[in-house]
Amino acid sequence: MDKKKNFNIAIVGLGNIGSRLYKHLTHYKNSIKKKTNTNFEIKFVSAKNKQKKRNISINKKKWLKNYIEASIHPDIDIVIELIGGSEGPAKKLVFNSLKNKKHVITANKALIAKYGDTLSKLAEKNKVNLEF
């Protein structure tokens, strides 16, 4: 990633992993900032079922109306994709994010296995990182 010290993050997918990540990042934000000398804010979140019961409290203003907004929103630097699957929404989000010069972090093994080479080239072309 570039030498920027402030990052705005969008987490797309709030299942078990996404919810835990949100909780971890918010709980340890000061510790992470101190260790990395980097500040971040979780600007937006998105999930298939907004009404699902989760053990986290998320401000209503953070919810995106449509997950794909994370890939085009000018305030987002990093898109964390935790949807899953090698096709459909996950594929669309990751490809769109990289094309729009957003760094991408994903835990999606299926997507990386199927499109990893293409995604890596797209990230390199747009001078952003693809982390998995």
Nearby residues of 124 by Cβ (< 8 Å), 6 or more positions away: none
The pLDDT of residue 25 is: 96
Q: CA 97 to CA 8: how far, in whole Å? A: 14
Helix (H), strand (E) counts: the chain: 4, 5
Query: Whole-structure pTM over 0.85, yes or no?
Result: yes
The pLDDT of residue 54 is: 82
Q: Residue 1 pLDDT more than 60? A: no
Q: Give 18-71 pLDDT, tens digit per residue.
A: 999 999 999 999 999 999 999 999 999 999 888 788 888 898 999 999 999 999
Task: Give me the phi and psi of 32, to 5 degrees please.
Answer: -65, -45
**79, 97 Cβ separation under 8 angstroms:** yes
Other C-beta atoms closer than 10 Å to the C-beta of 110 total: 13
Angle at 9 between CA 41 and CA 114, to 5 degrees: 160
Q: Give 75-105 pLDDT, tens digit per residue.
A: 999 999 999 999 999 999 999 999 999 999 9
The pLDDT of residue 3 is: 63
Q: CA 55 to CA 53: how far, in whole Å? A: 7
* Three-state secondary-structure class, residue 25: helix
